[in-house]
Amino acid sequence: MIEKHIVLEDIDPVVFYGVGNGHLQMIRSLYPKLRIVARDNVIRVLGDEEEMAALEESVEKMRRHILRFNSLKEEDILDIIKGGRAKEVPEGVLVYTMSGRPIKARSENQQRLIEAYQQNDMIFAVGPAGTGKTYLSIALAVKALKEKTAKKIILSRPAVEAGEKLGFLPGDMKDKIDPYLQPLYDALEDMLPQVKLQDMMEKHIIQIAPLAFMRGRTLSDAVVILDEAQNTTPAQIRMFLTRMGWNTKMIITGDTSQIDLPRPQKSGLIEALHILNNVEGIGIVQLNKKDIVRHKLVTRIVHAYEEYDKEITNSNESINKD
CB 71 within 8 A of CB 63: no
pLDDT at 163: 42
Other Cβ atoms less than 10 A from the Cβ of 94: the count is 21
pLDDT higher than threshold 60 for residue 162? no
Q: What's the mean per-residue pLDDT of the chain?
A: 86
Question: Who has greater pLDDT, 183 or 95?
Answer: 95
How high is the pLDDT of residue 85? 65
Closest CA to 213 of 296, 154, 268: 154
Whether pLDDT at 155 is above 80? yes
**Span 12-33, pLDDT tens digits:** 888 899 988 999 999 999 998 8
Backbone angles phi, psi at 284, to 5 degrees: -120, 120
- Alpha-carbon distance of 101 to 261, in angstroms, equals 36
From residue 177, how far is each of 167, 196, 250 by CA, in Å?
10, 22, 22
**Identity of the residue numbered 125:** A
pLDDT at 298 over 90: no
pTM recorded for the entire structure:
0.78
Q: How confident is the model at residue 164 (pLDDT cuts 50, 70, 90)?
A: very low
In the chain, beta strands by DSSP E: 2-7, 34-39, 42-47, 93-96, 102-104, 122-126, 152-157, 206-210, 222-226, 249-254, 282-286
Least confident of 79-93, 95-109, 117-131: 79-93
Cα(156)–Cα(141) distance, integer angstroms: 13
> How far is C-alpha 61 from the geometric centre of its chain's CA atoms?
24
Q: What is the arithmetic mean of pLDDT over 266-295?
A: 89
Query: Which pLDDT tens digit goes with each residue over 35-87?
Result: 999 988 899 999 888 888 999 999 999 998 888 888 888 989 998 988 766 67
Higher pLDDT, 254 or 181: 254
Q: Which residues of 176-210 are buried (b: 16+ CB within 10 A; e: fewer)?
A: bbeebbebbeebbebbbbeeebeebbeeebbbbeb
Burial of 62 (0-12, 13-18, 19+ CB in 10 A): buried
Whether residue 167 has pLDDT greater than 80: no
Question: 21: which DSSP letter?
Answer: G
